[in-house]
């Protein structure tokens, strides 16, 4: 295991340097100034004397990104465009087409059009591939072409897109887009309310409180708060959402840093909306950061039962620091600790393995909740009750990351018809069809065992093994490949849930997916059952 040493170069470091106080600042200042002078001289001489024309902006951008990659993935240089995107994400409002889009070199892939917004009105659907915006071909555009979709309210753009291999055109009139923190809430039965909190933008507390009060007004005596897939956001909103369920003055989270002014304790400042209502919080492997502050602190305070799967494990806090020319450095300034004192950061970015990957924590320390229950640090929030279908695994992740599940859902949508969400049923025959689709696709998923075997076989130094041994290795690799397809059956419940989620959205949008959850999602059904059993619920917390 090798220790990663950060490189102290480039202009953004100046912004960090002025944060340091006392002896740390004095001892580092000369070394920082020295390295900046070296780099400035190098940068000048390179651009003045290199044999071909250089692009100073691109060289600097590359240098900055390479330097920051030595640290953690959350410390980033934000150019002016990035700063605006960062602001939009936190504010929850922007002007555009109202769709989730993924950028590729030659196309923009529509991941999810939002119901009733411009992309949806123009007829775009998930799976459509935008290849041209106005007169600009996406393949010819050097920057992120998704920025071309943004613009002033009322402005119109023409786009060309491919759907199932056929080229189409449409016109989209941009609108103001509001990104709800709480996209859905509803009564599950006459006593149980369900709230989806999808992100911690500036609207999170206000909308969660409004949903809670609305449900209580409809007779809710128990609440399920769904944080699955919530990547986090504003720290202040995490504290205030927690405050809806715990009284004023409770410690929610502590941040610890080498910079003294970033060492803080965050307490609740307001009266709770309801300190007693039974509460279940749902999390999964995509619940991160602010989601973990809320779920972890409610667990530490014995205020809620946590259900689902282990959360992501992001215990690092970032802050944007202003640089020159409208740019910023989003830098990790501290670690946060839940109210019991545990840090749930799962990856150690400052120690890497031989492949340069961050080392995952495998040693956990024990802490206790207010009532004396054991909880642990170092690996996300472990639920009090785990739900199998909420978990994930390397195979499912690979199917998602390679768009296999997404692409299958696209094809499924154009070969099946449903009029309402209650009619949808994903059968065993459908799952077998998915397995055949995977076999015929170019899906590539390499296990750690395969990587080790291929490494062992590579290089001239292994020629002494002989052909028989090498043939045995090749047979083993072939068997592993077959085993990966068989593993689809082993993980059917997890894979099928992701398939159902993706398919339902194609017909009934995000709102329809949440409607589907109320009657079909294992975690919600388990949470509803738990909340109907007061003695079991209380026993878990005590």
Residues with a catalytic annotation lie at 289, 300, 314
| Assigned token pair, 427 | 């059968």
Q: How far apart are CA 203 and CA 74, in angstroms?
A: 23
Question: How far apart are the C-alpha atoms of 238 and 246, rounded to whole Å?
Answer: 12
Task: Output the six-digit token pair for 424.
Answer: 């949808």
- Measured distance CA(419)–CA(417) in Å, rounded: 7
Residues 6+ apart with CB under 8 A from 403: none
Q: Which residues, 6+ apart, have CB-to-CB distance to 215 below 8 Å?
A: 185, 186, 187, 193, 194, 195, 223
Which letter does DSSP use for residue 421 in this model?
G
Report the 10 Å Cβ neighbour count for 55: 10
Read off the tokens for 96.
């555009």
Alpha-carbon span 542 to 385, nearest angstrom: 14
Q: Across-strand partners of 265?
A: 254
Measured distance CA(451)–CA(477) in Å, rounded: 10
Residue 6 · residue 16 · CB < 8 Å:
no
Residue 103: exposed, middle, or buried by beta-carbon count in 10 A (0-12, 13-18, 19+)? middle
Place of tokens 């398919």: 503
Q: What gap in Å lies between CA 430 and CA 432, rounded to an integer? A: 5
Distance between CA atoms of residues 35 and 41, nearest Å:
10
E runs forming strands in 73-135: 76-78, 93-96, 99-103, 108-113, 129-133
Beta pairing, strands 156-163 & 2-3: unpaired
Cα-based torsion angle of the residue sequence 89, 94, 96, 101 in order, rounded to the nearest 10 degrees? 10
Cβ-defined contacts of 436-439 (< 8 Å, 24+): 437/404, 437/408, 437/411, 438/399, 438/404, 438/485, 438/488, 439/485
């Amino acid at each position: 295991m090798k220790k990663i040493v950060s490189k102290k170069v480039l202009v953004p470091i100046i912004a960090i340097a002025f944060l340091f106080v006392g002896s740390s600042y004095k001892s580092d200042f000369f070394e920082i100034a020295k390295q900046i002078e070296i780099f400035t001289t190098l940068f000048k001489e390179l651009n003045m004397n290199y044999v071909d024309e250089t692009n100073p902006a691109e060289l600097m951008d590359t240098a900055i990104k390479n330097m920051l990659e030595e640290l953690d993935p959350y410390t980033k240089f934000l150019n002016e465009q990035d700063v605006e995107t960062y602001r939009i994400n936190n504010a929850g409002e922007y002007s555009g087409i109202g769709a989730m889009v993924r950028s590729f070199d030659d196309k923009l892939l529509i991941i999810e059009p939002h119901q009733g917004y411009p992309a949806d009105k123009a007829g775009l659907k998930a799976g459509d591939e935008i290849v041209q915006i106005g007169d600009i071909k996406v393949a010819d555009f050097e920057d992120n072409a998704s920025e071309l979709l943004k613009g002033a309210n009322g402005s119109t753009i023409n786009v060309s897109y491919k759907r199932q291999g056929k080229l189409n055109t449409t016109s989209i009139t941009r609108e103001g887009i509001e990104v709800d923190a709480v996209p859905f809430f509803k009564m599950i039965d006459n006593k149980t309310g369900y709230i989806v909190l999808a992100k911690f933008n500036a609207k999170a507390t206000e909308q969660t409180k409004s949903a809670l009060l609305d449900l209580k007004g409809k007779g809710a005596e128990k609440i399920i708060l769904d944080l699955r897939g919530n990547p986090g956001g504003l720290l202040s909103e995490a504290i205030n959402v927690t405050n809806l369920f715990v009284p004023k003055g409770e410690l929610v989270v502590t941040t610890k840093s080498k910079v003294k002014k970033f060492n803080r304790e965050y307490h609740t400042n307001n009266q709770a909306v309801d300190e007693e209502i039974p509460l279940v919080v749902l999390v999964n492997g995509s619940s991160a950061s602010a989601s973990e502050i809320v779920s972890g602190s409610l667990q530490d305070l014995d205020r809620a039962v946590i259900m689902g799967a282990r959360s992501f494990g992001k215990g690092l806090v970032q802050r944007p620091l202003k640089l020159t020319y409208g740019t910023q450095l989003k830098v990790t300034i501290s670690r946060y600790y839940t109210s019991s004192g545990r840090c749930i950061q799962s990856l150690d970015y400052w120690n890497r393995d031989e492949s340069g990957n961050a080392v995952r924590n495998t040693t956990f320390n024990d802490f206790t909740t207010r009532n004396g229950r054991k909880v642990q640090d170092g690996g996300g929030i472990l639920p009090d009750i785990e739900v199998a279908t909420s978990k994930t695994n390397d195979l499912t992740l690979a199917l998602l990351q390679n768009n296999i599940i997404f692409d299958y859902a696209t094809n499924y949508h154009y070969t099946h018809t449903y009029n309402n969400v209650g009619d949808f049923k994903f059968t065993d025959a459908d799952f077998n069809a998915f397995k055949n689709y995977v076999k015929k696709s170019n899906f590539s998923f390499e296990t750690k065992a395969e990587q080790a075997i291929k490494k062992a076989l590579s290089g001239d130094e292994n020629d002494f093994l002989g052909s028989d041994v090498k043939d045995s290795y090749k047979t083993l690799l072939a068997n592993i490949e077959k085993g990966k397809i068989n593993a689809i059956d082993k993980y059917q419940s997890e894979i099928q849930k992701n398939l159902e989620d993706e398919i339902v959205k194609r017909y009934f949008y995000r709102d329809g997916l949440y409607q589907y959850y109320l009657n079909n999602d294992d975690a919600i059904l388990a949470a509803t059952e738990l909340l109907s059993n007061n003695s079991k619920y209380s026993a878990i917390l005590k």
